[in-house]
Amino acid sequence: MPAKPTEYQKTLDYLYSQLPMFQREGGVAMKKDLRNISELCKYLGYPHTGYPSIHVAGTNGKGSVCHILASVLQQKGLKVGLYTSPHYKDFRERVKINGELVTEEFVIDFVEGNKSLFEKVQPSFFEITVALAFKYFAEQEVDIAVIETGLGGRLDSTNIISPIMSIITNISKDHAQFLGETLPEIAGEKAGIIKTDIPVVIGERHPETDPVFLERAEDQGASIIFAEDEYTVLPTIRALTHSIFNVYKDKRLHTRDLESDIAGHYQGKNVGTVMASIDILNRLGYSISESEFMNALASVKKSTRFMGRWQVLGLNPTVLADSGHNIGAFQRTLSRIPKTGGKLRMVIGFVNDKDISDILSLFPKDAEYYFTQANIPRALPVEDLEKLAGEFGLKGKSYGRVKDALGAAKGDSSRKDFVFVGGSTFVVAEVV
């Protein structure tokens, strides 16, 4: 006899089955204005106004920046709310305070207590989750919250907050059907989080997007800093399990051997973005010391439960998962897969609502491929993926389940082989 569903599981079933959910269904679940979230938060007593917040958008790196910032603020001794999306294993990963997941009881009570409101407003899954996070942080009296956008920024449900600082990590092509086909169009959507008189940090410069941010900041009277102008963060070693950087400021060595427990060479950009953000926080009176920053960076995983990015799942053979899922992320990730002396094996799957031709063109033709699909309606059917990949000279076998694909890759491997798992967050979620 199957186990009886718990109250928490029944609540999740309601959230997943009754509400439009972009994570599973794609564009049909999108709400393209802020009316629903505004109405939800009005009914809940405007919980997002009860604490200071930091708002983070961008194509790549925003999740890492959020977790590093949360770790820094926790190291300072603050009670820190952290809202990110999507989740990997447990819905509650989206809402954390000092690394602790929102309680099952709060999720149950919030949903049960507000079903009549939901039936009236007809919100999406994401809108309810944002409202839940805002309410939880208010009830728990956090000192500050770090809030990650979902898609875009201008019309993202999180964009009803009035933060003390906005951060936009970078711009790359992703979700073109919602955000635009060109980098300036995408930047325009992300720039929607820049608020009147609120400082903004831009992680990376780009000739096509810089004018968009500068114009928006000027229109809003917001001071703007480009992190690349302030700090250059270069890796000194490229280990699989951690990173060590040297930091330069004004072309002079600023910090030597800065260690982080989150790996991936691309994290240097995120670290520089956080350092520029800390400069602003210190001007606002937070007094974050260099030692507090260094301790926080060395313990991001422990203090925030960070997962899914450049995550080592096993050794001999090395198995590594990374949830990057757009061309910018793959350009960074694929260029840094280490040479191990063995065969490169790629376990990959994608979603069905984006053009992945440019991404597939980046993949090495001499690797062995294990095509698969995540267990969500949005998944690109594995047969379609294998056919499309073949057009780019990528050869391999298809597997209907991610775990079967990974099992086959590991079974085919020698101790020196390297197995990469990725393509979408949802593929990675099934193996981490």
Q: Where do the structural domains in the chain lie, given as residue ranges?
A: 7-304, 311-429
Q: Are 8 and 107 in contact (CB under 8 A)?
A: yes
The residue among 74, 48, 53, 63 whose CA lies nearest residue 145 is: 53
CA pair distance 360, 187, nearest whole angstrom: 24
Please classify residue 52 by burial: count the beta carbons closer than 10 Å to its beta carbon, then call 0-12 exposed, 13-18 middle and 19+ buried.
Answer: middle
Q: pTM, whole model, 2 decimals?
A: 0.92
Domain 7-304 has CATH 3.40.50.920: no
pLDDT in tens, 51-104: 999 999 998 899 999 999 999 999 999 999 999 998 999 999 999 999 999 999
The residue among 213, 54, 57 whose CA lies nearest residue 150 is: 57
CA pair distance 419, 125, nearest whole angstrom: 34
Q: Using DSSP bridges, classify how beta strands 200-202 and 165-168 pair: parallel, antiparallel or unpaired.
A: parallel
Whether 7-304 shares its CATH topology with 311-429 is answered: no
Q: Report the amino acid identity of residue 302.
A: K
φ, ψ at 200 (rounded to 5°): -130, 140
Q: Which tokens hold the place of 306? A: 């960070």
**Order of strands, edge to edge, in the sheet holding 224-226?**
100-101, 95-97, 80-83, 144-148, 53-57, 165-168, 200-202, 224-226
Task: Give the per-residue SS3 of the chain.
Answer: CCCCCCHHHHHHHHHHHHCCCHHHHCHHHCCCCCHHHHHHHHHCCCHHHCCCEEEEECCCCHHHHHHHHHHHHHHCCCCEEEECCCCCCCHHHHEEECCEECCHHHHHHHHHHCHHHHHHHCCCHHHHHHHHHHHHHHHCCCCEEEEECCCCCCCCHHHHCCCCEEEECCCCCCCHHHHCCCHHHHHHHHHHHCCCCCCEEECCCCCCCHHHHHHHHHHHCCCEEEHHHHCEEEEEEECCCCEEEEEEECCEEEEEEEEECCCCCCHHHHHHHHHHHHHHHHHCCCCCCHHHHHHHHCCHHHHHCCCCCCEEEECCCEEEECCCCCHHHHHHHHCCCCCCCCCEEEEECCECCCCCHHHHCCCCCCCEEEECCCCCCCECCHHHHHHHHHCCCCCEEECCCHHHHHHHHHHHCCCCCEEEEECCHHHHHCCC
Q: Is the pLDDT of residue 29 over 90?
A: no
CB atoms within 10 A of CB 200: 26
- For a pLDDT cut of 90, what percent of the chain falls above it? 79
Q: Report the amino acid identity of residue 223.
A: S
The widest CA-to-CA distance across the chain, in whole angstroms, is: 67
pLDDT value at position 132?
A: 98
CA pair distance 84, 193, nearest whole angstrom: 16
pLDDT in tens, 209-253: 999 999 999 999 999 999 999 999 999 987 888 999 999 998 899
pLDDT value at position 410?
A: 98
Task: Work out the angle between the directed axes of helices 125-139 and 35-43 (0-180°, nearest 10).
Answer: 30
339-355 burial code (b ≥16 CB/10 A, e <16): eeeebbbbbbbbbebbe
Q: Is the pLDDT of residue 26 over 50?
A: no
Mean pLDDT for the stretch of residues 12-32: 64
* Assigned fold of 311-429: Protein-Tyrosine Phosphatase; Chain A (3.90.190)
Residues 6+ apart with CB under 8 A from 298: 259, 260, 261
pLDDT in tens, 335-358: 888 887 899 999 999 998 888 999
pLDDT in tens, 156-189: 999 999 999 999 999 886 544 455 578 999 999 9
Residue 312, strand partner residues: 320
pLDDT in tens, 232-241: 999 998 788 8
Q: Which residue has the tokens 């004018």?
A: 211
Mean pLDDT for the stretch of residues 262-277: 92
Distances (CA, A) of 376 to 25, 86, 197, 237, 424: 8, 13, 42, 37, 11
